[in-house]
Structure 1
Amino acid sequence: MPSQALSGIRVLDLSRILAGPFATQLLADLGAEVIKVERPGSGDDARSYGPPFATDRAGEPTRTSAFYLACNRNKQSVTINHATERGRKLIRELARKSDVVVENFRAGTLAKYGLDHESLRAENPRLVYLSLTGFGQTGPYAERPGYDGVFQAMSGMMSVSGHPEEPMKVGISMVDIISGLYASTAVLSALRHRDVTGQGQYIDLALLDCGLASLSHFAMNYLVSGEVPERRGNGGYGGIPSQSFMCRDKPLFLVAGNDRQFAAFCAAAGREDLLDDPRFATTSARITHRKEILPVLAEVMAQRTRDDWLETLERHGVPVGPVNELPDVFADPQIKHREMLTEVADPLLGTLPLLANPIRLAATPVGDHSPPPGLGEHTADVLGRLTGVGAEELTALRADGVV
């Protein structure tokens, strides 16, 4: 059965692509009813973001991308053309009966259609309305378009990622994901305020702001010291060592974040002599002399195989892990035990593998998933249930291109 954590909360999802849909998927996983409004005929742009595209039960490719499937489970899909007067009216009717609206149109766009916060709040004062845009609703860049890579570049995320000679974006759409997490937290906070005061509120969230906020201690290091962080490839900024090392055959990632762990590493490596060197004896000293110690450690690590190091370091209590490719990730016994890979039955696609939600709630656990919806799959049900549209009217609306 679905989670009961957000049971009774209805979310009208007007967002597309990734950040907004990821946020609403989190709310759906927690039990909210999420109604995804899409354009008739084409739907969310993310549906076409392939290859890869999912295959149907017969093994034939469909028009549904893996990208779309990643962030739209547990939702209902309704197709409505907001460019038509009747379409706008239907969306306003749905908003009147919703607790939350999430949208990621460019700043000012929905005001042209009477679907902005002020317009919908006049009819539903309890409404929580989240606008998730690239640059926010104010400022000199407010009307600019943008995508994840742009915000990784502008926020400084790329400047601290990669090797010294070249900035590099994070492989996944990290700003979108982080913004989705901020968005779901903001919505929950606003719902709590609504439940106490009876009043909804407007949330203005910008991907650029979220990208900058994610720099966390990197930004703080700069603000405190005035020094621009250097790029360290696969090396960290914590204790030394804190990075990947190439073993005789394969890489691993090793962290000795304090003096006790470094001493344990030295014992495992048979290099207790390093503890006698004042440059390496303390965490602070190792950070100061990282350029001297890292070549020494790299030479030590190259002498054994990865599996040998993993067994030895784990036995000594040193934090370490293999650098896994995705097949290795899903074969990992800990990942299997935590059930991070789940499956749902899809009427078109058959058995569909999905990443599970990592939240483990004792009293209101994340329940069974429903598959990401087909385009307009729930139009008749949702409009009939919430707006009173019957079969005859629905046929006429389809003929007019409204739904």
Structure 2
Amino acid sequence: MSVTQQEIDSLFERSGTGPLSGIVVADFGRVLAAPYCTMLLADMGATVLKVESLEGDETRSWMPPVFEGESTYYMSINRNKHSIALDFRNPDDLEIARKIAAKSDVFVENFKPHGLARFGLDYASVQALNPTVIYASVTGFGTTGGADLPGYDLLVQGAAGLMSLTGAPETVPFRAGVAVFDVFTGLHTCIAILAALQHRTNTGEGQLVELNLMSTALSAMVNQTGAYAIAGVTPRRLGNEHPSIYPYSPFPTSDGDIILAIGNDHQFKVFAETIGAPELLDDARFATNRDRSQHRDALRPILEQILQTKTTAEWFELFRAKSLPCAPINDVAQGIQFAESIGLEPIVTVGQGEKTQPGVRNPTLFSKTPVTYDLVPPTLNQSGDAIRAWAQQ
């Protein structure tokens, strides 16, 4: 199919001048960690060329929910990208893949460890074609002893210990309600790519960046893994409570629950006065955060009795007026509505002209180079002809 230069140029046109304008990203990622990373790069102005199999990214088939017949899972992490479908077993398609790699600033992949080597798309091969490339590789359990383990977030939540911390003491371990380590790894990958791009600016050198979900998980569990690494303490499941702070959990009200996060002694003083229980401040069991943590079984019933005298909304307004950390427990719809009520504008319009859809705002605000939402998530191979033509120029 004949492609005009204008169609090729359209791959690089954006409505704004994001901080990554001019950077071309070859996105060989699938599912969540890598595509989430590349969407963040795309939001910041990078041109992202999503290289898919002929069947497409697995998340295209992960439904329900759906929006206009498409998977909302896929649509949540693939805006601002251009899609090309290639069969690496086809020599012509593989040559296009290599040319895309050769012309890109950044190459992102999350295949099984060493899975791209047989196609000549591993780091050594791509670096030979493109010496200054930033090559970001994401795996589940690293490339050494865990290379054979499938890299699914749920497996990492179990293996890293997060599930052992999630749920009440009397329940079985639970997974988090979101693939947290896929998302965290995507964020770390984005950070690493930005750092590597800065290094390239300073030195002209490209490099290999490697991340894995397991290492990200252990880092992301911060104080919990730190407790073991530093003091040999194995944390246990506490439900919604915190091992080191009290009160720091949901408490029942007359019509639901309110979350309290009283993180220091001054906050507890204001809290005790606000709930009409200043006598708590004279009780030695509750004098300091350490005391309250140690005597939480004595403090909880006192607080429950008081907090059940008003509604969640009433307490929230009282505590908010005193700048005390608190929040209701919302469902996802209520969470978005709450963000709207405080002016965060969480829903944006993705796309331009006749083809638009709702999306969730990128959380980063730039004063001079704002993120943009120019392109709805691409249909499979939507820009295939234009990308092929560009790769062969």
Mapped partners of 1:320, 1:232: distance in 2: 19
CA contact (8 A) 2:181 2:216 kept: yes
CA contact (8 A) 2:349 2:373 kept: no
Instruction: Give, in angstroms, the shift of residue 90 of structure 1.
Output: 0.7
2:32 matches 1:18: yes
Mapped partners of 1:116, 1:128: distance in 2: 12
SS in 2 for 1:353: strand
The one of 17, 26, 36 equivalent to 2:50 is 36
CA contact (8 A) 2:96 2:391 kept: no
1:111-260 correspondence to structure 2 within 5 Å = 111-138=117-144, 140-165=145-170, 166-260=172-266
1:58-137 correspondence to structure 2 within 5 Å = 62=69, 64-137=70-143
Instruction: Give, in angstroms, the shift of residue 233 of structure 1.
Output: 1.1
The one of 362, 369, 372 equivalent to 1:367 is 372
For 1:297-343, what per-residue CA distance to the aligned partner results, in whole angstroms no more than 9, with x for missing partners? 22221221111111211122211111111221222265662221112
CA contact (8 A) 1:7 1:32 kept: yes
Amino acid at match of 2:112: R
Greater Cα offset, 326-335 or 243-252 = 326-335
Q: Which residue of 1 aligns with 2:64?
A: 51
* Change beyond 3 A, Cα 1:333–1:96: closer
Instruction: Give, in angstroms, the shift of residue 52 of structure 1.
Output: 1.3
1:323-362 correspondence to structure 2 within 5 Å = 323-332=329-338, 334=340, 337-345=343-351, 351-362=356-367
Mapped partners of 2:57, 2:333: distance in 1: 29
What TM-score, normalized by structure 2, do the two folds share?
0.92
What TM-score, normalized by structure 1, do the two folds share?
0.90
SS in 2 for 1:167: coil
SS in 1 for 2:285: coil
For 1:8-43, what per-residue CA distance to the aligned partner results, in whole angstroms no more than 9, with x for missing partners? 111000010001100000111111110000112x20
Instruction: Give, in angstroms, the shift of residue 2 of structure 1.
Output: 3.3
Instruction: Give, in angstroms, the shift of residue 380 of structure 1.
Output: 1.1
Amino acid at match of 1:152: Q
Instruction: Give, in angstroms, the shift of residue 368 of structure 1.
Output: 3.3
CA contact (8 A) 2:351 2:373 kept: no
2:380 matches 1:384: no
Greater Cα offset, 229-238 or 124-133 = 229-238
For 1:248-271, what per-residue CA distance to the aligned partner results, in whole angstroms no more than 9, with x for missing partners? 101111111111111111111111
CA contact (8 A) 2:83 2:383 kept: yes
Mapped partners of 2:138, 2:97: distance in 1: 18
Mapped partners of 2:198, 2:331: distance in 1: 41
Q: Which residue of 1 aligns with 2:41?
A: 27
CA contact (8 A) 2:16 2:369 kept: no
SS in 2 for 1:332: helix
Instruction: Give, in angstroms, the shift of residue 53 of structure 1.
Output: 1.7
Greater Cα offset, 325-334 or 301-310 = 325-334
Mapped partners of 1:261, 1:192: distance in 2: 42
Instruction: Give, in angstroms, the shift of residue 155 of structure 1.
Output: 0.9
Q: Which residue of 2 aligns with 1:262?
A: 268
| Unaligned stretches of 5+ residues in structure 2 | 1-14
Greater Cα offset, 89-98 or 215-224 = 215-224
Instruction: Give, in angstroms, the shift of residue 97 of structure 1.
Output: 0.7
For 1:156-195, what per-residue CA distance to the aligned partner results, in whole angstroms no more than 9, with x for missing partners? 1111111112221110111110010011011111111111
Percent identity, aligned pairs only, is 37
* Change beyond 3 A, Cα 1:336–1:74: farther
CA contact (8 A) 2:244 2:290 kept: no
Q: Which residue of 2 aligns with 1:298?
A: 304
Amino acid at match of 1:315: A
For 1:111-168, what per-residue CA distance to the aligned partner results, in whole angstroms no more than 9, with x for missing partners? 0111111011011110111110111122x22122131100000111111111112221
CA contact (8 A) 2:163 2:173 kept: yes
Instruction: Give, in angstroms, the shift of residue 226 of structure 1.
Output: 2.1
Alignment root-mean-square deviation, CA: 1.6
SS in 2 for 1:375: coil
SS in 1 for 2:135: strand
Q: Which residue of 1 aligns with 2:21?
A: 7
